[in-house]
Structure 1
Amino acid sequence: MPPPSHLAIATGSVKRLLKEETSYRKELAHQEAQLKALQDKIEKGEGNEDGNGEFIVKQQQTAIEQTKAVFGPLRERLDAAVVKLEDQIKLREQSGAPEQEMEAAQAILEQVKAEKDASS
């Protein structure tokens, strides 16, 4: 079996980074929901029996901030991977690449564009 082409590697990198970003977005949503539930419990007087409710809230807020901090560098890596993929597509269009690889690369670029538009 021949090694994967540079186009396939670039496509895989973009796909992996998109998956990673989606995972972090889900984690952030989950953390924010937990924080809201905890704050609601404390407001009702239910979640502070041992007196550390405020500490737990601060810990949860710190975790949320740490998760949010991941998005900047991750987006930079994703943008760089997209540029590399676009370069590989241009090279492969000139030299001829398997149709299946070109379709996969174009599809992942469309997905990146759609997700970027949705998050803006």
Structure 2
Amino acid sequence: MAPPSKLQVTTLSLLRLVKEEASYHKELEQQQARIQKLESGSNDENAEYILNQERKALEETKQVFPTLKEKIKTAVENLNEQLEKNKEAGGEASTEEVTKAHEAVAKGLEAMREAS
């Protein structure tokens, strides 16, 4: 089996970042739901402590997004460069690789728009 091309590696890297970003959005929603549940009232004597911990975790999750957005932006730029190099080299990569790369760029751009 041939080693993956630079285009494949860059594509997979971008897709991993997009997946990670989606995972953080899901985590953010879950944390907000837990906070709402705790704020709606709990008879637990540790409720205030737990609420504070959940709020801290929520803020930490929110702090991840700017860095992740920048990483996605860089990965999109790198993938676009790889696509240009492939085009200049006469299309060394298969059409399937190029198609996957273009799809990854679209997903990366969509993730950046959602993060804004």
Normalised TM-score (structure 2): 0.91
Q: Determine what percentage of the aligned residue pairs are the same residue.
A: 37
**Aligned residue in 1 for 2:43:** 48
Map of 1:60 onto structure 2: 54
Indicate yes or no: 2:87 matched with 1:105: no
Q: Per-residue deviation at 1:66?
A: 0.8
Q: Which runs of 5+ in 2 are unaligned?
A: none
- How large is the Cα RMSD of the aligned pairs? 1.3
- For these two proteins, the number of residue pairs brought into alignment is 114
TM-score by length of 1: 0.88
Query: Which residue is equivalent to 1:82?
Result: 76
Shift of 1:105: 0.3
* Alignment-derived partner of residue 3 in structure 1: 3
Of the two, which has the highest radius of gyration?
Answer: 1
- Residue 119 of structure 1: how far off its partner (Å): 4.2
Q: Structure 2 counterpart of 1:85, which letter?
A: L
Q: Cα–Cα, structure 1 residues 93 and 53, in superposed 2: closer, same or farther, change >3 Å? A: same
- Given candidates 69, 85, 93, the residue that maps to 1:91 is 85
- Flag structure 1 segments of 5+ consecutive residues without an equivalent: none
